[in-house]
Amino acid sequence: ALGVEVTVVDDVPIGQVKERAGLPYGLGSCHTIEMGEYIIEGHVPFEAVEKLFEEYPDTDGIGLAGMPIGTPGMPGPKQDDWSVYQFRAGEAQPYMTL
């Protein structure tokens, strides 16, 4: 709907994908996306993805750990703030809170 071409690759073990992406240990989720030069991990709200591509920070990607209720693709109303992190070389730092 937003004009983004998507290719689904499901023949590589997800653990290998996350390791190759440099995802910080313990901050994974159920989805890992390569988008341009960045990795998007988990149910990251589009607002954070838009910010990423507006600012182009020096980072490997952004993520939202776990599967929080109310995030895109998860049922139910939002219950808590979502802490989106950015990561580089396996180390995480806060990116934004939604």
**47-94 pLDDT, tens digit each:** 999 999 999 999 999 999 888 888 888 888 888 899 999 999 889 999
The answer to the question of residue 51 being in a domain is yes
pLDDT band at 1 (very low <50, low <70, confident <90, very high): low
Give the DSSP letter string of 3-36: S-------SS-HHHHHHHHTPPTT---S-EEEET
Inside any domain, residue 23: yes
Cα–Cα distance for residue pair 83/87, rounded to 1 Å: 13
3 part of a folded domain: no
Domain carrying residue 80: 14-97
Asked if the structure places residue 1 within a domain, the reply is no
Residue 7 belongs to some domain of the structure: no
- Total number of domains in the chain: 1
3-53 pLDDT, tens digit per residue, is 778 788 777 788 888 888 888 888 888 888 888 899 999 999 999 999 999
Inside any domain, residue 40: yes
Residue 84's CB is within 10 A of a number of other CB atoms, namely 24
Q: Which amino acid is at 56?
A: Y
